[in-house]
Structures are given as structure tokens and as C-alpha cells.
Amino acid sequence: MARPNLQVALDHSDLPSAIGDVVKVGAEVDIIEVGTILCLQVGAVALQSMRALFPNKVVIADTKCADAGGTVAANCQQAGADWMTVICCATLPTMVAAAKEVKEVQVELYGDWTFAQAQSWLAAGITQVIYHQSRDALLAGESWGEKDLAKVKRLIEMGFKVSVTGGLTVETLQLFAGLKVFTFIAGRGITNAADPAMAARAFKEEIQRIWE
């Protein structure tokens, strides 16, 4: 089974602290994500900075784009992003317009999306989804459960490359054993650690152990 990628999400509210953290962990991870908070706070310069720092890594713009997909995606691509996220309740024309401008589009699954919708994304050539435990839902006490794992499994079986995120720890990776997860995304679980590089390595080693 292909080994899942490790992605660091930079959910900072300013560029200097994001840069300070990413230079510590960039070499350890496969994918670097400019998180929504950072996109909205800093703009395209955040993407440009990650591209300059890591010319050979995949850089993602987590715009959670809901409309004007073509323009947002063209701007992200110009700033150096490889992939870009769109929100699941965006219309199909928005997703398709975005997909024309960046290498790949990832659909962020929030709220009441359906597998019928997911099938329509596949039919339109969009093969990546991100299964999310909402940060605010986590704060409200929710967590990963059988219900989530069953949905992740079904999406993988449909043919999606499925990234998972939301409150992941090294310990929770074991929950996904046996599933062909595409990427695990961790944010503060890495960047807020006392030693971010060591935290990233701990994620990576546990991924290597489980998906050997």
C-alpha cells in the first residue's frame, strides 16, 4: 500500500512566524500548505514565500474557494501554488474553472456534502478530497470516530485520493491503519510543538511504521 504523505498546514496569522516554523519542518514533510488564515491575512506573498523557500515541494493554497474559481486559481498558480482547495458547496463550474488553472484541485469536505456530489466531482476529473474534522467542531468536543473512518474508506473506494485532517496526533494515525490514506495533514500538532522538526519526524516515523 502506498505510504501516505505528510503535510504541514501553516495556520499562522502572520508571515514571519509562518516562515520561522516552516524552515524548521519543511525538509521533514512532503507537502507545505498555506492555511486559510494565513492566505486571508497575508495574501499571495505567503505562497510566493513558500515557493521561494521550497522550490521542489508541493505547495498548497488552502483558499477553500467558493466562487470565482478561475480567477482565484490563476492568482494562486501565479504566486507559486501547485494545488488549491475548493469548498464542497461550491458549484461544479467553480471547481472546474479552478481545476483549469492549477495542477490539482482538492475539495474540502465540510457540512452536509453527499456521495452523489462526490461522484459528480470525480466525473468532472477532480480526484482529490480532504476529509476534515472542523477545528471548531473539535473545539466543541467532537473527535474522530467510526462514522468518519467509514466515510474516508468509501471515498477511497470511489477512487479519490483522500487527505485527512483535524486534530491529528501521532497516536490517532493508528486509527487509519489499513486505509490507503493519501495524506495526513497536521498544523499546530507540528508547528506548536516544543521541537517542530522532531514532531514532524515523529509523524513521519509513525506513518512509516504503520504503512511499511
Residues that bind a copy of itself (CB under 8 A): 11, 13, 36-37, 39-46, 61, 63-72, 75-76, 87-91, 93-94, 97, 108, 110-114, 117, 132, 134-137, 139-140
Q: What residue has cell string 473512518? A: 149
Query: Looking at beta carbons only, is 85 or 210 nearer to a copy of itself?
Result: 85
Query: Looking at beta carbons only, is 71 or 169 nearer to a copy of itself?
Result: 71
Pairing of strands 161-165, 183-186: parallel
Query: Looking at beta carbons only, is 89 or 170 nearer to a copy of itself?
Result: 89
Beta carbon of residue 131, minimum distance to a copy of itself (angstroms, whole number): 13
Vertex 162, ends 186 and 95: CA angle to 5°? 105
CB-based contact 129:162 (threshold 8 Å): yes
Vertex 85, ends 187 and 74: CA angle to 5°? 125
Beta carbon of residue 205, minimum distance to a copy of itself (angstroms, whole number): 28
Beta carbon of residue 128, minimum distance to a copy of itself (angstroms, whole number): 17
| Residue whose C-alpha is closest to residue 107's, from 75, 131, 125 | 131
